[in-house]
Amino acid sequence: MSLDLLIYAVGAFASLMSVVAVYLALVERDLVKAVIYSAIQSVFYSLLFYLFMSPDIVLVYLPVAGGVLPALLLVLISKTERFERE
Amino acid sequence: MVGFLAEYMFTVIYLSLFVNLGLSLFGLFYKPHYVKKLIMLGILGDTLNMFAIFLGYRAWPSPTTPSRPPILLTYPFENASVLVEFTSRAVDPLPQALVLTAVVIGLAVMVFLIFLGDNLFKHYGTLDMREIRRLRG
Amino acid sequence: MKRVVSLAVLVTIVLGMSLLLALSGQSFYPSENLRWLAIVYLNTTYNPYLPDFTVWSPEAVTAIVWDYRGLDTLYETTVFYLAIISGLALGRGVKRLNQKPTDESGLSPIVKTVTKITGPMILAVAASIGLHGHLTPGGGFQGGATAAVVPVVFIVVFSSFYLLWKGVSSQRMLTLRSAGLIGIGLTSIALFLAGLLLGLPSYVFQNIAKAGSPLSMPYDVHGALLSGTLWWFNLFEFLAVSSGFTLAFIILMTPEAEEKW
């Protein structure tokens, strides 16, 4: 099995797991869990960016969508309401 | 057979990006809470940036030479064959530069919307968009 | 149970549809040749044989961001600045509390000690990413975003008033941010002003000597690459972005006094 098949296989696995994470973030009622699922989706997207040979984007994407934005959203949730209604 | 497997897995990546796009658009329109809409807007922007990087990828020139990121590693070089080999293997650098700008602008919009959501809660007491639409100030 | 069934259906749809597309030969597979513009950028980003076109930086993406397409990045910095200003404007006129953090506030002493050790390490890594942007992957914005994680961790672990008590107030962060933006503006017109003073032709946003003007920023310091304006842009952008993020966190996370509407 040559190396570029391995790269594509890891990429396919990461993109399928990101579909799972986006669906779980959509259906969840508890907003703290939805923010955590969105951070998991960002980690899988970073892995996919790395496999497409772009290290600059990985270094932007990991602190921004995996560190700063979930922190800001969690602060907003703690100041307002936590559960989504019907 | 090996060519078919590579093409199949590449198509799996491509199609799952379309499914992400559809799911995030559905969540943006049909979920009534403000913070859920913000999360789905972030996922939408990131999927569009992933499309741009996807289009800038370059297949391997031969099964033993992999494609590489557009960064030169041996800089004071003597003859120009290093540069010729670099140009024949490196990935397109232009979509990466444009995606950098797009990520920063998406982040700026999200920071502004978070400040706005804080102010909405102080005025209306709830973040449910159906109730805010009914109250009208 | 309902969620597991929906997830299985979704994954099966993705796998099956892509099998259909791959079997019929209608899918998209990347080619092995690049377009002409990408070949031009890759050829001229570090090329001692073409001294009129090169940027003297072995990193193609940073050269495109700050030299070939420098105006795009200037306006992107302006958009980010506008977002922080909007946060300041929405939070004006609100009285904020200012108490002294005691020993019982925050998390346990183990977490506090570990945070005191790893905080400066994160800052060192962020400075390395930001200042080596013209040689390795990185740059000003990447370093600034990594350095912005440190105030969040400190506020969560110690207390909301720890930063204010240590002297990191919103006025000082605003001053640092303005200093960074002034630095970016001055670096972009530095060679233009030098050309006006000396009477030689020069351009705005010029980096290395081109065919029409002989002025150039120093790109080499005793063998270590400096790449002209790229290093200065990275330094000022690092300052501006990290202090902007810290300002947004201080505004959002400090508790307010009771207001009567």
pLDDT single digits (tens) B89-99: 899 999 999 99
Interhelix angle C36-44/B94-124, rounded to 10 degrees, is: 100
Asked whether residue B137 carries a pLDDT value surpassing 60, the answer given is: no
Tokens representing residue C137 in the block: 């992957």
- Chain C residues whose C-beta is within 8 A of a chain A C-beta are 3, 6-7, 10-11, 14-15, 61-62, 129, 137-139, 141-142, 145-146, 148-149, 152, 245, 248-249, 252-253
- Interface contact B21, partner A, CB < 8 A: no
pLDDT at A41: 96
pLDDT single digits (tens) C112-170: 999 999 999 999 999 999 999 889 999 899 999 999 999 999 988 988 888 888 888 88
- Nearest 5°: CA angle at A65, between B24 and A5? 80
pLDDT at C258: 65
Cβ A19 vs Cβ B15: under 8 Å: no
Cβ C141 vs Cβ C80: under 8 Å: no
Asked whether residue C261 carries a pLDDT value surpassing 70, the answer given is: no
Question: Which residues make Cβ contacts (< 8 Å) with residue C51, sequence separation at least 6?
Answer: C208, C209
Q: What integer best gives the mean pLDDT of chain C? A: 88
Question: Average pLDDT, stretch C27-53?
Answer: 87
pLDDT at B73: 86
Element (H, E) at B119: helix B94-124
Considering the entire predicted model, what is its pTM?
0.92
pLDDT tier for residue B44 given thresholds of 50, 70 and 90: very high
Element (H, E) at C225: strand C224-225
Tokens representing residue B100 in the block: 């950098």
Q: What integer best gives the mean pLDDT of chain A? A: 92
CATH number 3.30.70.870 is the correct assignment for the domain at B2-57+92-135 = no
Q: Nearest Cα to A23, choosing from A8, A32, A34, A9? A: A34
Asked whether residue A16 carries a pLDDT value surpassing 80, the answer given is: yes
DSSP B28-89: HHH--BHHHHHHHHHHHHHHHHHHHHHHT----SBTTB--B-SB----S-SSTHHHHHHHHH
pLDDT single digits (tens) A45-85: 999 999 999 999 999 999 999 999 999 999 999 999 899 88
Cross-chain CB nearest to A12 (options B9, B19, B127): B9
d(CA C142, CA C146): 6
pLDDT at B62: 82
pLDDT tier for residue C111 given thresholds of 50, 70 and 90: very high
3-state secondary structure of C96: strand
3-state secondary structure of C59: strand
Lowest average pLDDT, out of A16-30, C63-77, C209-223, goes to: C209-223
pLDDT tier for residue B39 given thresholds of 50, 70 and 90: very high
